[in-house]
Amino acid sequence: MGILISFLNLPLYLAIIIFVAYAIKWLITSFLGSSIDANLLKWGQIIVGLLCIIAIVVWLTGVLGLGGGLPHFWVYR
């Protein structure tokens, strides 16, 4: 049951990372009316991708018993 709960937390964390990145992009482009330089957008996508990869690797190491796993809001004992 713990693996299922942690697996369900993984898409939640990935969605939060992607949502925050999209909200920052929307804030800059639509709300402020400014455009984003292509190099800045490329580096932002790289950083978001790395954060997603880090979340996946941390989850995998937690499942395999090699690490602590993703942080969570509740603990099942």
Angle between helices 38-63 and 2-26 (to 10 degrees): 170
Q: And the tokens for 25?
A: 């992009």
CA atoms within 13 A on the CB side of 24: 11
Region label for 13, one of left (φ > 0), alpha (ψ between -120 and 50) or beta (otherwise): alpha
pTM value surpassing 0.75: yes
53 or 70, which is more confident? 53
**How confident is the model at residue 13, as a pLDDT?**
93
DSSP state of 35: P
* Residue at token pair 């939640």: 12
**How confident is the model at residue 4, as a pLDDT?**
83
CA atoms within 13 A on the CB side of 1: 3
pLDDT tens track for 3-51:
788 888 899 999 999 999 999 999 999 988 888 899 999 999 999 999 9
